Amino acid sequence: MSLAEKIDKSKLPLHIAVIMDGNGRWALKQGKDRTFGHQNGVEAVRESSEAAAELGVKYLTLYAFSTENWKRPKYEIDALMKLLVQTIDQEIPTLNKNKIRLNAIGDLKSLPPDSSKRLEEAIEETSGNDRMTLTLALSYSSRWEIENAIKQIAHEVQTGKLQPRDIDCNLISRNLTTKDIPDPELLIRTSGEYRISNFLLWQIAYSELYFTNVLWPDFRKEDLYKAIMDYQCRERRFGKISEQLKKA
Ligand code: FPP
């Protein structure tokens, strides 16, 4: 029995989020430049997207570039932006073939104009696909997103459209960039680091966290299956106790 067959399809996470980490270390271990790691990370993006869609996962969100990543050396940022455009151009036929819809969250205005233009076009070109939504978090950080949500809500209160008593968790969620996406049930981080790094802080309140030592460019379908199988062994109590879950 293969790993994929061992997965209980009736208990799949609807949404998986991934902090893709370890590209730089993967490249340096081979005496190569960090950008070589990013180039090889594309294969892992392809594998994980395909595996998730084949299983029936409806949403996959990948942390591709954080607002803090702008502090990296310019040559690395340029290489990542170029890779983004190249990958989008290369992958659109496969996304359409697999009926995957591309989506993006983050401060997309801060991307170089050609990258954001190509991204917008790809989002449009795949908008009719309904098997899975692949969201790229680009120039994204959770604190940036929450700050913006608070500003929007404050503005609505100031202009009288909302009363302070209307502010609740649902309203806050509806003002985040992920408003059309359910919260992830599973968050994966590769490369052996145990951090969240400003990713989906609000949305992962009850996510199961899975950390693996695999460096992102080595991440393959089997690694995603292992993460999902681990998730399926967890008891998700949402603050309740085990006995209450058994009665339900
Ligand atoms: C983290 O590894 C990875 C990134 C900041 C970039 C992720 C980009 C890709 C996987 C390339 C392709 C992606 C798309 C969506 C086209 P790191 O550089 O922080 O690694 P390190 O911790 O070993 O230095």
In order along its 248 residues, the chain shows pLDDT tens digits of 899 999 999 999 999 999 999 999 999 999 999 999 999 999 999 999 999 999 999 999 999 999 999 999 999 999 999 999 999 999 999 999 999 999 999 999 999 999 999 999 999 999 999 999 999 999 999 999 999 999 999 999 999 999 999 999 999 999 999 999 999 999 999 999 999 999 999 999 999 999 999 999 999 999 999 999 999 999 878 888 888 887 76
Domain assignment of residue 4, yes or no:
no
- pLDDT score for 219: 98
**Total number of domains in the chain:** 1
User: How far is Cα 28 from Cα 34, in angstroms, rounded to an integer?
Assistant: 6
- pLDDT score for 35: 97
Domain assignment of residue 165, yes or no:
no
Q: Give me the domain span that covers residue 47.
A: 11-141+184-247
Q: Is 69 a catalytic residue?
A: yes
Ligand 1 atom closest to Cα of residue 88: 16
Q: Could you count the other beta carbons within 10 Å of the beta carbon of residue 220?
A: 15
- pLDDT score for 241: 86
Ligand 1 pocket test, candidate residues 21, 30, 195, most atoms within 8 A of CB: 21
Domain assignment of residue 159, yes or no:
no
User: How far is Cα 60 from Cα 38, in angstroms, rounded to an integer?
Assistant: 19
pTM, two decimals, is 0.96
Cβ of 217 less than 6 Å from ligand 1? no
Look up tokens 């892992």; give the residue: 44
Domain assignment of residue 22, yes or no:
yes
Assign residue 20 the CATH number of its domain: 3.40.1180.10
Domain assignment of residue 63, yes or no:
yes
**Residue nearest (by alpha carbon) to ligand 1 atom 24:** 24
Domain assignment of residue 147, yes or no:
no
**Residue nearest (by alpha carbon) to ligand 1 atom 7:** 64
**Residue nearest (by alpha carbon) to ligand 1 atom 8:** 64
Domain assignment of residue 40, yes or no:
yes
Look up tokens 């460019």; give the residue: 217
Domain assignment of residue 225, yes or no:
yes
Query: Is there a contact between 194 and 21 (Cβ–Cβ < 8 Å)?
Result: no
Ligand 1 pocket test, candidate residues 23, 211, 215, most atoms within 8 A of CB: 23
